[in-house]
């Protein structure tokens, strides 16, 4: 159910508690003037509001009153309208006050509206393989896009920050990239999995070029052998015809030829 918001006073009990608990942040939490009436939905386990509806209701304030609702004020308002686990989770994240409204929405979706999308995306990601016609860079781009999707859908871990998310994303990309390579390449990389990713890519590129060169040379040898065999079959036979013993004038049973 929508709740009436008077932005001249404290917006919710959560904001009041935040202000009281941290007087130094009081200025940051102070609602803007003048008094305006708006309907901002609440999000939490006691409310049926979806994340999208919640974010839209907050974003509407900036559309209606742009001079009073810069991005940082929208975040204050949004956090003040979270409840229960949603509120506790967001304020436990380092630097939560610097989130954008879009980032806040993404975190809430990952944590509270996961559904089957994450499982499906993770399963598809972990089964990715490099196709024969795909270059390393094309495969890397494809892996990266899928890894970002998995990261967006996965549950947010308590205490994680941007540096942690970036490190986890890079690890996901590297791990699945190596796992999706042909068996011959992965065997060649055994013992080097911890090397710098860019260095590994250069090694793989050289190996694939060598492998392609060997394949071309092998195909050329096989083609030449085939041509020689075909040529030999086309030439007329030389010498006498018949079984070898016939030319010696002897029968295999020891009898002379008549």
pLDDT at 26: 39
The tens digit of pLDDT for each residue in 135-145 reads 888 999 999 98
Does residue 7 register a pLDDT over 70? no
The tens digit of pLDDT for each residue in 19-43 reads 444 444 434 444 443 333 456 888 8
Q: What CA–CA distances, in Å, run from 157 to 111, 151, 179, 204?
A: 9, 11, 25, 34
User: Of 127, 124, 121, 126, which Cα lies nearest the Cα of 109?
Assistant: 121
Place 45 in a pLDDT band, splitting at 50, 70 and 90: confident
Does residue 252 register a pLDDT over 90? no
The tens digit of pLDDT for each residue in 56-101 reads 888 888 888 888 888 888 888 899 889 888 898 899 988 888 898 8
How far is residue 91's CA from residue 93's CA, in Å, rounded to a whole number?
Answer: 5
- Annotated domain spans of the chain: 3-112, 117-180
pLDDT at 32: 47
Query: First-to-last CA distance in the chain?
Result: 118
How far is residue 138's CA from residue 158's CA, in Å, rounded to a whole number?
Answer: 34
Does residue 52 register a pLDDT over 70? yes
């Amino acid at each position: 159910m929508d709740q009436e918001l008077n932005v001249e006073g404290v917006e919710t009990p959560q904001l009041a508690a935040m202000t009281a608990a941290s007087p130094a942040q009081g200025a940051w939490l102070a609602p803007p003037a003048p008094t305006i009436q708006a309907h901002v939905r609440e999000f939490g386990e006691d409310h049926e509001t979806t994340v999208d509806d919640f974010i839209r209701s907050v974003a509407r304030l900036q559309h209606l009153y742009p001079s009073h609702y810069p991005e940082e004020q929208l975040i204050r308002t949004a956090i003040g309208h979270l409840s229960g686990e949603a509120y506790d989770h967001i304020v436990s994240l380092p630097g939560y006050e610097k989130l954008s409204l879009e980032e806040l929405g993404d975190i809430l979706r990952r944590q509270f509206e996961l559904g089957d999308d994450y499982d499906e995306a993770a399963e598809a990601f972990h089964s990715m393989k490099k196709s024969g016609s795909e270059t390393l860079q094309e495969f890397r781009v494809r892996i990266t896009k899928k890894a970002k999707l998995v990261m967006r859908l996965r549950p947010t871990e308590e205490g994680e920050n941007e540096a942690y998310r970036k490190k986890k994303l890079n690890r996901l990309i590297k791990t699945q990239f190596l796992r999706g390579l042909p068996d011959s390449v992965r065997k060649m990389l055994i013992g080097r999995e911890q090397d710098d990713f860019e260095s590994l890519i250069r090694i793989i590129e050289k190996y694939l070029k060598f492998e392609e060169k060997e394949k071309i040379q092998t195909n050329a040898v096989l083609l030449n052998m085939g041509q020689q065999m075909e040529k030999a079959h086309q030439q007329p036979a030389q010498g006498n015809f018949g079984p070898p013993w016939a030319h010696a004038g002897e029968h295999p049973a020891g009898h002379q030829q008549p």
